Structure 1
Amino acid sequence: MPDKAKNPPRVVVFAYHSVGVRCLEVLHRSGVDIALIVTHPDDPSENRWFDSVAEWAAQQGIPALTPPNPNDPALVERISALHPDFFFSFYYRQMLGADLLALPKRGAYNLHGSLLPRYRGRVPVNWAVICGETETGATLHVMTLKPDQGDIVAQEKVPIGPDDTAHDVFLRVIEAGERALSQVLPALLAGKAVHRRQDLSQGNYCGGRRPEDGKIDWSQPAQVIHNLVRGVAPPYPGAFTL
């Protein structure tokens, strides 16, 4: 880990959710200089069952912004003035554009909730459960303009039991993400992390899900219905029938 007395690496973090809080704590303990956090405003109308990055930043006295668009030129200019060494993205909900990704001198890394290249894209934990997978995990990878396609630097697996809900699995994925970041961070900061290219032909891409996608199709096999029910169980909108 870097010596706090000697100009630690400066990072800008884009983060949300409990994943963001737990990974920010890893960075904070490591002694890096968290110069700025970009997050989302906490929506009182949302079923927020997870921790608040904005609240964590306030407790630590770290500047935090909640812009509607992280790619706004004024924000890009502000971040550029910080001369960041690294970007980290932990469950931030918006894509970073080319102007932003060009700023960090030593790389931009994103944590994704699947075993890339499988389940690239949206809500990967829910999709893994719905599709009947027996394992998933968390992957730290290089950020690129296309989502979830950059080189992998760390990956941790977690099991999915036959009756686990997506929430059960998500809690394990949070811990897996924290472990993955903790294990690779010293090598990243030292410039020695191994980067492994993804073979996208071995994976798949999934889109977002809407509440209406939880409608049960009773013509499907019982196992498929069981997987849907547990894959969208609370705190997600849930499966339903008419």
Structure 2
Amino acid sequence: MSRAVVFAYHNVGVRCLNVLLAQGVKVALVVTHRDNPNETIWFDSVQQLAEWHGVPVITPENPNVPEVVEQIRALQPDFLFSFYYREMLKAPLLAIPGRGALNMHGSLLPKYRGRVPVNWAIIHGETETGATLHYMTEKPDNGDIVAQQAVPILPDDTAFAVFQKVTVAAEMALHGALPALLAGTAPRTPQDLSQGGYFGGRHPQDGEIDWAQPARRIHNLVRAVAPPYPGATTRLMGRPMRILQTLVDNEQEMTNPGFYVRNGKAYASCRTGRLRVLRFELDGSEMTAQDFAERFGTEEFEFNR
């Protein structure tokens, strides 16, 4: 029976840990994160799953400190797996497993290496993404590929919807590749790193809308940062506003950016094109198009930065 130490967090961590357990891998230890009280926890708990199955769990701030490295080395694992674990594993850890250290990444590598790949793929208007199981090296997301599973990105999919698809894709990729991996017959395909790029993390301020952008690009931003992410932000009548869900209504018309309600529907004019605004918040409170019209009327209001 193969032994593994698993570094995991989030829904991908839960689903992939389940795959290992279902296929008879001896999980000697799970390394995960303590939930951040300042973060909206909308995903399942790796720690809870491990505890249900009697697997020991640790939650170090830094997994690369000598005492954690020695604890893992003493377990003599055949494999290390990283499933949406948020810290990079350094060379001393990667050298421990006899049969390799593998990571599950939420894109079709070599595209969208690095942080929050689902959000970046939507921002750039991609129509497809997926999950990639690959060997880890000291550089992030550039090791040999073992398996990939693609999923579509539909024009109005939010990051949350796509992440749910990628979670299933990760489960499918691992489930399909694991028997060959355990048997020592899994393929290893080097990445052509010239075919993709590295992207960093995103912050709430990155969701500020530039209304000079075309409607489609703004729509992509809105759906990439829609809840449970921080949302796309702007200001209207000097008040903070979050645009939570949109549809592209027009991509050609040249207008001055503004917000208005017509016939019970809310719209946002961009420099090029127009969006139908399905959900929005003003001053921290979600309201309907009818609510807005009753309170402010149906004239068009300019967005202000």
TM-score range for the pair, normalised by the shorter chain length: over 0.9
Partner of 1:241: 234
2:15 to 15, 18, 22: 22
Partner of 2:167: 174
Is 2:17 the counterpart of 1:35? no
CA drift of 1:57 comes to: 1.1
Alignment of 1:66-215 (within 5 A): 66-215=59-208
Decide whether the 8 Å contact of 1:12 with 1:35 is kept in 2.
yes
Runs of 4+ in 1 over 3 A off after TM superposition: none
Q: Scaled by the length of structure 1, what TM-score is found?
A: 0.96
- Unaligned segments of structure 1, at least 5 residues: 1-7
Q: Measure the CA separation in 1 of the matches of 2:198 and 2:68.
A: 30
CA drift of 1:204 comes to: 1.0
Q: Measure the CA separation in 2 of the matches of 1:76 and 1:136.
A: 34
Tell me the SS of whatever aligns to 2:232: coil
CA drift of 1:44 comes to: 3.1
Decide whether the 8 Å contact of 1:42 with 1:52 is kept in 2.
no
- Give the letter for the 1:150 counterpart: G
Structure exhibiting the larger radius of gyration computed from Cα positions: 2
Aligned residues: 235
Q: Measure the CA separation in 2 of the matches of 1:27 and 1:228.
A: 35
Q: Measure the CA separation in 2 of the matches of 1:210 and 1:45.
A: 14
Q: Scaled by the length of structure 2, what TM-score is found?
A: 0.77
Q: Which has the higher strand share?
A: 2
Is 2:54 the counterpart of 1:61? yes
Computed over aligned residues only, the root mean square deviation of the Cα atoms, in angstroms, reads 0.6
Q: Measure the CA separation in 1 of the matches of 2:201 and 2:38.
A: 20
- Give the letter for the 2:77 counterpart: P
CA drift of 1:54 comes to: 0.9
Decide whether the 8 Å contact of 1:22 with 1:178 is kept in 2.
yes
Tell me the SS of whatever aligns to 1:79: helix
| 1:103-161 Cα shifts (integer Å, max 9, x gaps) | 00000000000000000000000000011000000000000100000000000000000
1:47 to 40, 47, 65: 40
Tell me the SS of whatever aligns to 2:50: helix
- Give the letter for the 1:205 counterpart: Y
- Give the letter for the 1:103 counterpart: I
- Give the letter for the 1:145 counterpart: E
| 1:52-107 Cα shifts (integer Å, max 9, x gaps) | 11111111110000000000100101110001100000000000011000000000
Q: Measure the CA separation in 2 of the matches of 1:38 and 1:135.
A: 31
Q: Measure the CA separation in 1 of the matches of 2:117 and 2:205.
A: 18
Decide whether the 8 Å contact of 1:17 with 1:52 is kept in 2.
yes
Tell me the SS of whatever aligns to 1:36: strand
CA drift of 1:173 comes to: 0.1
What percent of counterpart residues are identical?
68
Partner of 1:5: none
1:224 to 190, 195, 217: 217
Q: Measure the CA separation in 1 of the matches of 2:35 and 2:207.
A: 25
